[in-house]
Structure 1
């Protein structure tokens, strides 16, 4: 673990405790936790050093981003860090405050109304980075009507603007092909999914090693070992897919790899969540036990930023139209 990751792990462990997370889910103001994160300087790690950042690449930031998922952080830390780096790469300064990034579920009505559905961290963001076709914008969430996800404790929301607010920031759409806001959202959610899955697996491994049945730990039963092996395979695949999504030498993710990473992570998320609950039994769904903090995130982040089905369709069209041979050839070509 490098110094950056160690420092972030220490901060999340001390400040983003399960008790704090439960409080924010219940309606407590997250401003204090966000102020701690902002004052730490971690939000600027992707910015170049001459702009007050650390000049870290997405490749190097990956372990730190996974930590946010492992701690079920209820704030758009990863999204804000990646949005700031993405905006800087396009020649724009980022506003103050937490930034959420909209996936492909956006629409613009004929009368100028804007809507963003299934927005991860929509309840906690001050700004929303979204794309409406060729229109890329930063929208103030204070001007929106916010309808929260009905799932208990979820920070996902739908946001609606009757018209474009006066303080909207327009992002010039570059002529060259770069990562769109929806693709950036997909890339930002992949390490969160991988981190939450890793934590769910770790908790499950500890539980089956301690839980006794018929005079021995249930980890010794073949059926339990089989399910654990399936979970472990999915968790490792999610980690590798998330690393692919952030495989970049700078702050700009690859559009293809972002889609590949989100597809695989979203696809595997319910298998990990279901396996964890199956092996925990009734204790896993209780309020007092922390497992549900992570499995709820797995289901929430799976849907946000485009589901696996949505991104698989986009990738399928590209594979069919490409000249790179098989789907594996397509993926390998995308990593060069």
Structure 2
């Protein structure tokens, strides 16, 4: 029910033209207000607080749907951030809330959240620290965009002395784990849509008297891409195969590592099979593949999370097949 409802509103609010407009400075407020009015920001909140009280397995297809639509506002991040703030006992603010990848104090005393997803438009940032959860008002921050065309990531800097009160109950590891899990789900959704677009193009485009999808070389590339998309989907789903509102760290590590690893092959194959049209700004494929490349490194690349998996495997000192079964069964 929720998936169909959110898919309908995303199709209505975030057409490719609307996505392009918001990416390049257009007003995102009307679309955001439509999402908030529909109650989609409170999917993880308890029913007593006016939420849907969804379990993680029910949230997964919603996140993949968000990924499919290349949503240019922090919808997925706000859903998670609001759940983290509620767990910490904080008052949840109105407006767009995103998750910081990191938070540090610079030598001049300023507080910095580097390469923050949706940092150009977010109203608030939720960041993890050693002392607890931080809720930071972006109105007080200096924003420095990443400089990548169409990207909404930015470095956020608060001046020295900016008041910050850590909220206990949630730590930096919780935020990073959630960031990895939700971006694995977003990658799975976007990758599936890229696969569908590529297959359709290969069925429509003709060369030398027949559609290019009839050529064995093209079929081989489609098959390999499809295998990776399926693997990404299964890996991402593992991160949400548990109860409560916090993914398990090792399952999230597997999900993010596998999904990030597949990004380059999926995006490259899609662009290769689309030919010259695939690299143009006017064609919608780039709305998804740009995000795939951005999400690949957001909240940790495959190399980052592979180290977590390797350390856990060595610590368990069991056969790798039993280790994998344990992760898939959420017993680690």
Q: TM-score range by the shorter chain?
A: over 0.9
Residue 326 of structure 2 corresponds to which residue in structure 1? 333
Displacement of 1:108 in angstroms is 2.1
How far does the alpha carbon of each residue in 1:68-102 deviate from its partner, in whole angstroms, 9 at most, with x for none? 11000011111111122233234333221111112
CA contact (8 A) 1:178 1:255 kept: no
How far does the alpha carbon of each residue in 1:10-31 deviate from its partner, in whole angstroms, 9 at most, with x for none? 1011111111101001111211
- CA root-mean-square deviation: 1.8
Which of the residues 293, 296, 303 maps onto 1:299? 293
- Structure 1 position 172 matched with structure 2 position 165: no
Residue 262 of structure 2 corresponds to which residue in structure 1? 268
- Distance, in Å, in 2 between the alignment partners of 1:169 and 1:268 is 39
Residue 127 of structure 1 corresponds to which residue in structure 2? 124
Residue 220 of structure 2 corresponds to which residue in structure 1? 226
Gaps of 5+ in 1: none
Displacement of 1:173 in angstroms is 4.2
CA contact (8 A) 1:123 1:155 kept: yes
- Distance, in Å, in 1 between the alignment partners of 2:92 and 2:80 is 11
How far does the alpha carbon of each residue in 1:35-87 deviate from its partner, in whole angstroms, 9 at most, with x for none? 11111101101111111011111111111111111000011111111122233
Displacement of 1:146 in angstroms is 1.3
Which of the residues 25, 38, 51 maps onto 1:40? 38
Which of the residues 195, 209, 219 maps onto 1:215? 209
- Structure 1 position 148 matched with structure 2 position 145: yes
Residue 161 of structure 1 corresponds to which residue in structure 2? 158
Residue 84 of structure 1 corresponds to which residue in structure 2? 82
Residue 274 of structure 2 corresponds to which residue in structure 1? 280
| Greater Cα shift, 107-116 or 17-26 | 107-116
How far does the alpha carbon of each residue in 1:176-199 deviate from its partner, in whole angstroms, 9 at most, with x for none? x99521111111211111111111
- Distance, in Å, in 1 between the alignment partners of 2:157 and 2:290 is 25
Residue 197 of structure 1 corresponds to which residue in structure 2? 191
- Distance, in Å, in 2 between the alignment partners of 1:301 and 1:34 is 21
- Distance, in Å, in 2 between the alignment partners of 1:97 and 1:329 is 45
CA contact (8 A) 1:179 1:253 kept: no
How far does the alpha carbon of each residue in 1:228-248 deviate from its partner, in whole angstroms, 9 at most, with x for none? 111101111111111112222
CA contact (8 A) 2:131 2:168 kept: no
| Greater Cα shift, 133-142 or 199-208 | 133-142
- Structure 1 position 255 matched with structure 2 position 253: no
- Distance, in Å, in 2 between the alignment partners of 1:58 and 1:125 is 24
- Distance, in Å, in 2 between the alignment partners of 1:29 and 1:247 is 36
CA contact (8 A) 1:144 1:161 kept: yes
Displacement of 1:259 in angstroms is 1.6
Give the direction of change, closer, same or farther, for the CA distance of 1:190–1:102 in structure 2 (3 Å limit): same
- Distance, in Å, in 1 between the alignment partners of 2:45 and 2:186 is 21
CA contact (8 A) 1:245 1:254 kept: yes
- Distance, in Å, in 2 between the alignment partners of 1:159 and 1:327 is 41
Normalised by the length of structure 2, the TM-score is 0.94
Gaps of 5+ in 2: none
- Distance, in Å, in 2 between the alignment partners of 1:295 and 1:183 is 23
- Distance, in Å, in 2 between the alignment partners of 1:207 and 1:169 is 52
